[in-house]
Structures are given as structure tokens and as C-alpha cells.
Structure 1
Amino acid sequence: MLRLLSIEYHKIRYNTASRVLTFIYFGLLTSIALIAAIKFDIGPVKFHLAEQGIFNFPYIWHFNTFVASIFKFFLLLVIVSMVANEYSYKTLKQNLIDGLSKKEFLLSKFYTVLVLALISTVFVFVTSLILGLVYSDFNEPAIIFSDLSYLVAFFVKLVGFFSFGLFLGMLIKRSAFAVGAMIVWAIIEGITKGMLYWQFRNVEGSTQAAVDQVMQFFPLEAMSNLIKEPVTRLGAVKTVANQIGEHITKDYSVSLLSIVIVLAWTAIFMLLSYRLLKKRDL
């Protein structure tokens, strides 16, 4: 495993674009801390975002993992270009000539996906812990370390998303087109969701629930379901909603079913990537 990771590390290290994208990604993760500095002073109205409870334990685990997952696109570019470059620069063929098996080649990519996801998760954990210790109103250990399931969901989400990108990179062999294919697939899921809303519009009960039951098995939707939006969970938002007659009863917990679905898709993407690699004439 270390030998395979070492090979990938040197490929990323000496690729300028990959280095730049990786630095941008972790720079954006660090920028979450800048949210604490957002203040609005408009006459008598003074608004400090950090004082609204977004950095309170355990809510911070939910909020920060949700925001951090938005930036995953930058690492996706690294993963996709890492695969595409193997074909463009003929390094894949050279690695196989040097004795690396196709299985080891694919494993080296997947290990890189796991390491990048793990480093990202640890980075978000440390950043969130520091912000929470500085701004949270609750510092009891039992509260601090509750809801860490969001970090598990964040890790699984990154692994699934990057595995999807790895498969598309293997399939299309061009980074720009692979990223484009990811966007097209997201559009397809969006159109499908809209069509289901139309199909189930006359179903007794909740149309939303009926659509969710179907859409939860789609890869990108399943990844999205791992960490639901945290804004409506804030006390201030619920108070405003109650004042206008709306009652928010959303379940924000991490679903074990969503984790299983994403892990299943991850296995499918890797299996398909391996089959492509075995059958393709290099």
C-alpha cells in the first residue's frame, strides 16, 4: 500500500495543476474560519454570524462538514486529471511495463482517494474543534464529541464522490470531458427528480416522501442525503419560521441507509473501473 501511495504522491507532487488545486481546496477549507468574522452593523441592527450559534457544539460538526463538502469539486479535478494524465502521458502503459499490475494500478488510485478523503476529514475536524473551543457556548466533553457521525458521513461522501470521478476518468480518459459527464449526470438526476414530482403529484400522502424513496438510490442524491442542509436547524431560523406559521420538522441525522447506499456505489464504481482497465487495450 505504501509503495502504491508513494507512486501517486510523486505524480501529484510534480504536477503543477494538481498542486495548485490541492492548495486551493485546503485554503478554502481553512476559509471556513473567516465566517466568524462576518459582521453587519446597519444603524441599530448589529449582526455577528458567529453569535448566531453556527460554531456551537455539536452543531458545528453539521455546519462545517456541509460547507466543506461544497469545495470537494477542487479535489475532484485532481482525481480526474490524475487518471487522464495516465493516458495522455502514457505513464499507465509504462507502469504496466515496469511490473505494476492493472489491479495494483487501480488500487493506487483508490488508496489516493482514501488518503485525500481522510486528510480532508481530519482537517475539518481540527478546524471545527478549534473554532468550537473559541466560539461555542458549550464546552462539556460529552457535548463537544457528540454528533461526530457527520465527520463519518463527510468521509464517506468524499470517497463516493471521488470514486465516481475516478470511474469517469477511466471511462472517458479526458479530464474536462469527465468533469462534464459528472455535471451532465447531476442534470439527469435533477430532471429525473422533477419528473418524479410530476408523476407522484396525485399520490395520496406526501409527494416529497414518495420522490425521496426513489431518488435516495441515485449516486449523487445519496451523497447529498448524507449531510442535509443545516441552516433550517438553527434556533434563529426556527424562531422566524414559527412566527410566520411554519413548523420545521426535518430529520437532520446521518442516515445509515444513505451510508450503505454510497458505499455500495463506491464499490460499483471501482468494480466498473477495474473491468474497463482489464478489457481496454493499452
Structure 2
Amino acid sequence: MVRLLQIEWIKLWNNRASKVLIVAYFVLLTLISLVAAIKFDIGPIKFHLAELGIFNFPYVWHFNTFIAAFFKLFLAVVIVSMMANEYSNKTIKQNLIDGFSKWEFVYSKFLTVLAFAAVSTVFIFVVSLLLGLGYSDYNEIGIIFSDLEFILAFFIKLVGFFSFCLFLGILVKRSAFALGFLILWTIIEQLLFGLIGWKLTTWDTAKQIKNFFPLESMANLINEPFSRLSAVQNLGQQIGEDLKFDYAVHWYEILIVLVWSSLFIYWSYALLKRRDL
């Protein structure tokens, strides 16, 4: 396992574009902490984001994982480019000649996916913990370590998304087309949802079916956190709107994404197994 990861790391780090994207990704995750420094003080108007409670425990776990998930596209580019380079540089054929089985090749890529997801999760955990310790109004141990399921959901979300990108990289072979297909699939899911709700069943049933779509199921793991803020809740009460939603991470949502992740890895292997390289 370690040997396979070392081989993949050498390939990635020797590619200038991949190196830049990986560094940029973690720099952007770090920049989340700069949100705390944003202040506006114009006469009577005073605005400090940290004072809104976005870094309060346990809300910080929810907020940071939701925001950090948007940056996963940087590593998506790395993953599809990683596969495109294997084909264009003929290294996939060389690996097989050197004794790799096709399963070992896919397994090494999946280990890379797991490594990216794990390192990202640990990184955002540390950043969130430090921000919370620095700005949270609540520092009791029980409060600090509550709602940590959002950290787990973040990890599962990244594993699912990166597994999908790996599958697309093997399917399409070229990074630009793979990324284009990723965007196209986002549109396809919305079109399927509209078609099912319009022609086949009720809209409520269509929404339930939509939750099983791959990208939608990943998005469902971490719901938007903004309506959870006390300031937004108070505003909702003043205008007569009930802004209390279900923000929890549910086990069945995790299961759906894990099933899709397993399918993407299996399909990646099945595709590679059938191809004459």
C-alpha cells in the first residue's frame, strides 16, 4: 500500500500543473481563516464576520466543511489529469509491463483518492479547531466535540466525488473532456429530476428519487449552514418565516454515497480490464 502511494506521489509531484493545483487547494483551505479578519467599520455601521458566530462551536464544523467542499474542484482537476497523463505518457502500459495488475493500478489510484480525502479532512479539522478555539463563545469540551459528524460527512463526500472523477478520467481519457462530462452530468441530473417530476410521478416523489443521484447524494451530506445562524433565525422570525431545517448528517445519506463510491471504483476496474492497452 505504501509503495503504491509513493509511486503515485512521485508521478503527481513531478507534474508541475498537479503540484500547483495541490498547493493552491490547501492554500485556499487555509484562507478560510482569513474570513475571521474581515471587518467593516464605517461610522455607525460595524460588521465583523467572526462576531456573527460562524466560528462558534459546534457551528464551525458545519460552516467550514460546507465552504471547504467548494474547493474540491481543484483536486478533481488533479485526479482527471492524473489519469489523462497515464494514457498520454504511456505510463499505464509501462506499469503493467513492470508487473502491475490492472486491479493494482486502479487500487493505487483509489489509494490516492483516499489520501487526498483524508489529508483534506485532517487539514480542515485542524483549521476549524483553531478558529473555534480562537473565536468561539463556547469552549466546553462537550460542545467543542459535538457535531463532528460533519467532518465524517466531509471525508465521505470527498471520497465519493474523487471516485467519480477517477471513473471519468478512465472513461474519457482526456482531462478536458472528463471535466466537461462532470459539468454535463450536473445538468443531466437536473434534467432527469425535471423529467421525472413532470412526466412520471409527483414532484415530492421526484425529489426523493433525486436524492439517489450521485452528485445530488454527495451534496446532501452537508446542507447549507447559513440559515442556521442565530442572526438569520431572528430575521426569519421577524418576517414570519420558519427557517428551521434538518441540518443533520443521516446514516442513509452516507450509505448512498459509499455505494456510489464502490460502484465508481468497480466500474473503473471493469473499464480498464476490458480495454486493450
Q: TM-score range by the shorter chain?
A: over 0.9
Deviation at 1:200, TM superposition (A): 8.4
Identity %: 62
Determine whether 1:274 maps to 2:276: no
Q: Is the 8 A contact 2:170 2:271 kept in 1?
A: yes
Alpha-carbon separation, structure 1, partners of 2:248 and 2:51: 23
Pairwise CA distance, 1:195: 3.6
**Where do residues 250-265 of structure 1 align in structure 2 (5 Å cutoff)?**
250-265=245-260
> What does 1:122-141 align with in structure 2 at a 5 Å threshold?
122-141=122-141
Query: Hey, what's the Cα distance between the residues in 2 that align with 1:239 and 1:79?
Result: 43
Contact 1:200 1:210 in 2 (8 A): no
Q: TM-score, normalised by structure 1?
A: 0.95
Unaligned runs of 5+ in 2: none
CA deviations over 1:22-51 (Å, ceiling 9, x no partner): 001001100100111112223312111100
CA separation of 1:140 and 1:224: change in aligned 2, threshold 3 A: same
Change (3 A) 1:199 1:237: farther
Q: Are 2:228 and 2:244, in contact at CA under 8 Å, matched by a contact in 1?
A: no
Tell me how far apart the structure 2 counterparts of residues 269 and 20 of structure 1 sit (CA, whole Å): 27
RMSD: 1.3
Asked if 1:61 is matched to 2:53, the reply is: no
2-structure distance, mates of 1:166, 1:236: 41
TM-fit CA distance, 1:255: 1.4
The answer as to 2:241 corresponding to 1:246 is yes
When structure 1 is superposed on structure 2, of 69-78 and 40-49 the one drifting more is 40-49
Q: Deviations over 1:135-185 (max 9, x none)?
A: 000001110000000000000000000000000000000001000000000
- Distance (Å, rounded) in 1 between the aligned partners of 2:82 and 2:91: 11
What is aligned with 2:94? 94
Q: Specify the SS of the correspondent of 1:186.
A: helix
Match for 1:270: what amino acid? I
Instruction: Determine if the alignment matches structure 1 residue 231 to structure 2 residue 237.
Output: no
Letter in 2 for 1:228: N
1:108 aligns with 2:103: no
| Partner Cα distance (1:281, 1:28) in 2 | 40
Specify the SS of the correspondent of 1:127: helix
Give, in angstroms, the shift of residue 211 of structure 1: 3.4
Q: How many residue pairs get matched? A: 277
Distance of 1:247 and 1:193 partners within structure 2: 26
For normalisation by structure 2, the TM-score amounts to: 0.97
Match of 1:188 in 2: 188
1:193 is displaced (CA, Å) by 2.8
Q: Does 1:175 align with 2:201?
A: no
